Structure formats: C-alpha cells, structure tokens
Amino acid sequence: MESIYLDHSATTYVRPEVLKSMISYFSEYYGNPGSMHRIGLTAKQAIDTARKITAEILNCDPEEIIFTGSGTESINMAIQGIAERGDHIITTNTEHHAVLHTCQFLEKRGVEVTYLPVNQKGLITPEQVEKAIKKNTKLITIAYANNEIGVIQPISQIGNISKKRKIYFHTDACQAGLYLDLNIKNLNVDMMTLNSSKVYGPKGVGMLFVDRSVKIRPILFGGSQEQGLRPGTENVPGIVGFATALKIGQKEKQKENIRLENIRDYLIQELLKISDTKLNGDPKKRLPNNVNVSFDGVEGESIILRLDEKGFCVSTGSACTSRSLEPSHVIQALYGSDKKEIAHGSIRITLGKKTTMNNARNFVEVIKDVVSGLREISPVYK
Amino acid sequence: MNKQKIKNKIKETNNSWFYTDIVKDHFFNPKNFLTDKEAKNYKADGVGIVGSSACGDVMKMWIRVKNNKIIDCKWQTFGCASALASTSVLSTMVIGMKLEDAKKITPQDIIKKLGGLPQIKIHCSVLGDQALRKAIEDYEGKKVK
Ligand SMILES: Cc1ncc(COP(=O)(O)O)c(C=O)c1O
C-alpha cells in the first residue's frame, strides 16, 4: 500500500527539478565559495545566482538575503540579533516554538515580551499590536501564516504600524513560501524568515531577509560569510536547491492555490459533516493547503496511528506526540487552556502538489471510520 | 533507489515502529472493550473510572465477580495508542484472577505484558491498574452494604 502524504507543513519532498539543480554542486563544483581559485569561484557564482533569484522574488537587494541552516536559525538570528536587555518585543501566543522559546530565553536575560492573544479564529488585529507598543519596543515578530492552523495574519497592516513607529518588524514566513506574496515592499517588513524544506527544497537551508537599514548583531561568530551574520562555509548545493525551489513554487503559486483551495474546502465541508467536529482557525484567511479539525471524544495520536495504518500521513496537536506532554499551544490559544481536550483531539491535514481530489475523497471515508471506531470505545464521547 | 527499494525501506520502518507488536495488536484490535450500546445491558458488579480528558487519558473499567474472582472485564478508553493498548492488555490479564491478586497489579506488570513502552508514555498512559482498583473497590463497597 502506498502512503498518501498529507503532512506537507511538516516538510515536503525535494522536487526533481530542484534535486537536478543541486547535484553538480556536491562532487563536481565542490569548491569553497571563499576560495580565490576558479573551483571556489564556481561555487561562489552559484550562491550569487541563488541570492539574486531569491532577491528578485522578495523584491529586495541580493545583499539583504542571508542564507542560514534552517527556519529556526533565521528566527533566532532575527530576534537575538536585535533585542537586548531592557528592550521590549511584541509577538503572539501562537508562534512556532522557534520564536516562543527564543523569547522565553530572552525574558530570562532581561528582555520584556508581550504575547498577544489571538482570537477564536487564530487572528490578531493591527490595533492589538499598536496598543501593545511601548517606549522600549524594539521588535515585532509575527508569523505570516501559522504552522498548525494555517491562518494568515495581517502582516502588511502591522508593517505599516511598525514603519510609522520605527520599530523593527520580522515575520516568520516558513509556511508562506509556496502560497503567499513574498514581496517585502508589499509586506512592509524589515526581516523575513523562510525555510527550504517546506517549499520542495532540501532540508538544512533557511533564509533571513534583513533590510539594509536594520542594525543586527551576529549571534554566531567566525568567518565573514553572509555579511558576517552567518559565518561558516556555505551549504552550496542546499542554497542552490532552495532558490530553485522557491522560484518554481512562486511561479506555480496562483494556479496551484486555486487547485488546493478547492480540495481544502471540500475537506472542510465533508469533515464538518462528522458530528461534534470543529474547524480550528479562520475558514478563509488560511493557507490553501491547511485543514485543522478537532473531533470530540477521541485523542489525536490514536487517530493518526490508525490513519497511518490505512495509508494516510497526517499530524496532531495532541500532547502524546509532542514529547512535552502539553497539547498544542496554538489550539489552546484559540479556546483557552481549560479546553485542553480540543487540542488533544486535533488533526492537521496539509495538502501538497501531488494531493488530488480523489485522495481527499478516500481520506474522508477512512477518517469517518477511524473516528467512529475510536468514539465507540471512548468513555468521554456520549 | 528504485521504487521497490523505497517501499521496502518504509516497510522496515513500520516494523521497527515506535511501539512493540503487542502494543500495536492491542491498539488495532482491542480486546474486551464495551461499546456504549453494550454498556447499557452489561450487568457489572463494579465500575471504576480514572483520568481526565484535559490530560488526554480517561479509562473506565467494568468487572463481574464470582467467588472473589474476576470472571469478566470490559473497558473504554480515551487516549493515545499506549493508553488503549494498556487497558486492553490489562483486561486480558485479569479475567480469571482472584480479586486480591488483581489489586496488586502495577503499571510495570502491564508494561511488561506489552513488551515495553517508550519512556515518555509510561507515566501518562498507564492508568488501567487504577481504574481496575477503583472497580474492585466499587464492588467491595457494594458488597458491604
Ligand atoms: C512557522 C514555522 N516557523 C519555524 C519553523 C522552523 O523551521 P525549521 O524546521 O527549518 O527550523 C517552522 C517549521 O517547522 C514553521 O512552520
């Protein structure tokens, strides 16, 4: 049985065109981009080209693109490279742990942090952000699209505020790379994080856009690569692959979004026909590939393992798979921490390039059985 | 890698899964559970329930007793795979067991019977022994009255 992969927000496969673009940079053009000889220069040219391609998509200067090792690393750079003792950061309570745990670490070092609460749909308003601004606010960091519930925040409007108030604005766009506008001039952001492993590129590559005007300190020390912000020999094949992937993804965006939205809305409609089921996050202001639902009376790990047995790969916000024994902070943020059971019973289905309407139809049939089977032996579902 | 090789690799992963084969068997084919419909007509001598849905695990056990022996045991569980499997395996352990022995069952006994559990699952998901003890107490309480 072939598994149907519906977990594209966790990571994507490397698409063949991308792999092809990378291959020669492993053993043929293997030079260090920092070397003066032509073997080194070939590698340097490759990352220069990748930087140019990326900069064109973001509508920024190539020098404003910093390649890193992951989304997490870019986020750490953007936050730790800016905030110092006494500074204030504004973020939300549904950010990825890469943001939240970095902020929590900085709080111990004398940085003040405001975690704006999202509403029941997972959204914050520009007014909330504006109200939270203090004299010492140095940085606003808000995800473009949420990794669990896919909701899209009003980045451009928040950016307007940050510009007016002269506060740095970073957006974590890890989930947005394939689906949303990445033009930083439209978004009004000073920094933006992307990662390659979510856009059909290789793992182990991230990117941080840093506007020329931003005064950022390095958090790693060593060589002068990447404007001195990211020392260490560059991951040449990875960077080439990332740029190729982003370029193709953005080119296909419009058409693919329509196709995916169609499947997404079908799934939402059919899953909500299962009794006592809830859609988590705004139904429309969400990524074209994200569905997140909670089923009353059943626990997420049980659902995903039974789905796996039937050949469908999805993920859950249940504590049982988090390793921390805490269910999803994102789902808890929607309904309150006294409604943990909604988080325990949540399932995230994220679609991708190969997902078809037919996959969606089969999935609906299977999950209906799985949920009713588990509800049958659940003492809390009545 | 060709397609067949990839499939084999994924299959191998299945076989060295997170859980043991015994856990998987009890999870995919749970034994002795009671559906709500059946519960209506089930004449239990003792019932016990533990856990909370906020914590992610709730277990309910029904027992029937004759001559101080458990002659039947049924259950319902809300929780992850190891929670379901541990309640299921417990039900198979106690049928035919003397009450005094059943009371002595520990989480470790259950885990051993399952061929082990991942470390992280041990504290949260094995509550079956407590549900069973509550069911026995329920039975013994009724007997006194
Ligand atoms: C919104 C968001 N931020 C940050 C990350 C972290 O990215 P990475 O896994 O590349 O470090 C992810 C990926 O899991 C994400 O979805």
Residues of A in contact with B76 (CB under 8 A): 377-379
pLDDT at position B56: 83
d(CA A32, CA A21): 18
- Measured between alpha carbons, how far is residue A50 from residues A193, A241, B125 in Å? 16, 8, 49
In chain A, CATH 3.40.640.10 sits at 16-248
Is the pLDDT confidence value at B6 over 90? Answer: no
Whether B53 maps to a domain, the answer reads yes
Mean of pLDDT over chain A? 96
Residues of B in contact with A309 (CB under 8 A): 28
Q: Give tens-digit pLDDT for B10-26.
A: 766 655 568 899 999 99
Q: Give tens-digit pLDDT for A50-70.
A: 999 999 999 999 999 999 999
Instruction: For chain A, list residues whose CB is within 8 angstroms of any CB belonging to chain B.
Output: 2-3, 297-302, 305-306, 309, 318-320, 323, 325, 327, 338, 340-341, 344, 376-382
Residue A323: pLDDT band by 50, 70, 90 thresholds?
low
Residue A143 CB less than 6 A away from ligand 1: yes
**A63 is written with which tokens?**
């020098």
Whether B91 maps to a domain, the answer reads yes
Q: In the predicted model, what is the mean pLDDT of residues A280-309?
A: 96
The length of chain B is 145
Comparing CA positions, the residue from B23, B24, B90, B118 lying closest to residue A321 is B118
How many structural domains compose chain B? 1
Nearest to B27 among A2, A305, A378 (CB): A305
Percent over 70 (pLDDT), chain A: 98
Q: Whose CA is nearest to atom 5 of ligand 1?
A: A71
pLDDT at position B12: 65
Contacts of A16 (CB under 8 A, 6+ apart): none
d(CA A165, CA B78): 50
Q: Give tens-digit pLDDT for A222-255.
A: 999 999 999 999 999 999 999 999 999 999 999 9
Scanning B14-73 for CB atoms below 8 A from A yields: 27-28, 30, 33-36, 49, 53-60
CA A178 remoteness from chain centre = 10
pLDDT at position A26: 97
Residue B124: pLDDT band by 50, 70, 90 thresholds?
low
Q: Give tens-digit pLDDT for B88-106.
A: 999 999 999 999 999 999 9
Q: Give tens-digit pLDDT for A12-34.
A: 999 999 999 999 999 999 999 99
Of ligand 1's listed atoms, the one at least distance from the Cα of A145 is: 1
Q: In the predicted model, what is the mean pLDDT of residues B67-76?
A: 96
Q: For residue B10, report the phi and psi dihedrals to the nearest 5 degrees.
A: -65, -35
Whether the Cβ atoms of residue B51 and residue A319 lie closer than 8 Å to each other: no
Whether the Cβ atoms of residue A294 and residue A241 lie closer than 8 Å to each other: no
Whether the Cβ atoms of residue A196 and residue A74 lie closer than 8 Å to each other: no
Residues of A in contact with B91 (CB under 8 A): none
Is the pLDDT confidence value at A5 over 60? Answer: yes
Is the pLDDT confidence value at B84 over 70? Answer: yes
Of ligand 1's listed atoms, the one at least distance from the Cα of A73 is: 11
Q: In the predicted model, what is the mean pLDDT of residues B51-78?
A: 93
Q: Give tens-digit pLDDT for A197-211.
A: 999 999 999 999 999
Pure H helices in chain A: 16-27, 38-58, 71-80, 97-108, 126-132, 155-165, 184-187, 236-271, 300-309, 329-335, 340-344, 357-376
Q: In the predicted model, what is the mean pLDDT of residues A149-163?
A: 98
d(CA A82, CA A97): 18
> What 3-state DSSP class applies to A165?
helix
Whether B69 maps to a domain, the answer reads yes
First to last CA, chain A: 34
**Rounded (10°) angle between helices B21-28 and B81-94:** 90
CATH annotation of A4-11+253-376: 3.90.1150.10
pLDDT at position A168: 98
Confirm whether A320 is a catalytic residue: yes
Residue A362: pLDDT band by 50, 70, 90 thresholds?
very high
Q: Give tens-digit pLDDT for A66-94.
A: 999 999 999 999 999 999 999 999 999 99
Is the pLDDT confidence value at A127 over 80? Answer: yes
Q: Which CATH architecture has domain A16-248?
A: 3-Layer(aba) Sandwich (3.40)
Residue B43: pLDDT band by 50, 70, 90 thresholds?
very high
Contact B58 A380 (CB under 8 A): yes
pLDDT at position B8: 74
Give the CATH number, domain containing residue B52.
3.90.1010.10
Q: Give tens-digit pLDDT for A249-294.
A: 999 999 999 999 999 999 999 999 999 999 999 999 999 999 999 9
Contacts of A105 (CB under 8 A, 6+ apart): none
Q: In the predicted model, what is the mean pLDDT of residues A126-134?
A: 98
Q: For residue B142, report the phi and psi dihedrals to the nearest 5 degrees.
A: -65, -40
Q: For residue B89, report the phi and psi dihedrals to the nearest 5 degrees.
A: -65, -35
For residue B74, give its domain range.
19-144
In chain A, CATH 3.90.1150.10 sits at 4-11+253-376
Catalytic residue among B22, B39, B124, B140: B124
User: Residue A322: closest CA among chain B residues belongs to which residue?
Assistant: B120
Is the pLDDT confidence value at A108 over 70? Answer: yes
**Distance (Å) from CA A72 to ligand 1 centroid:** 6
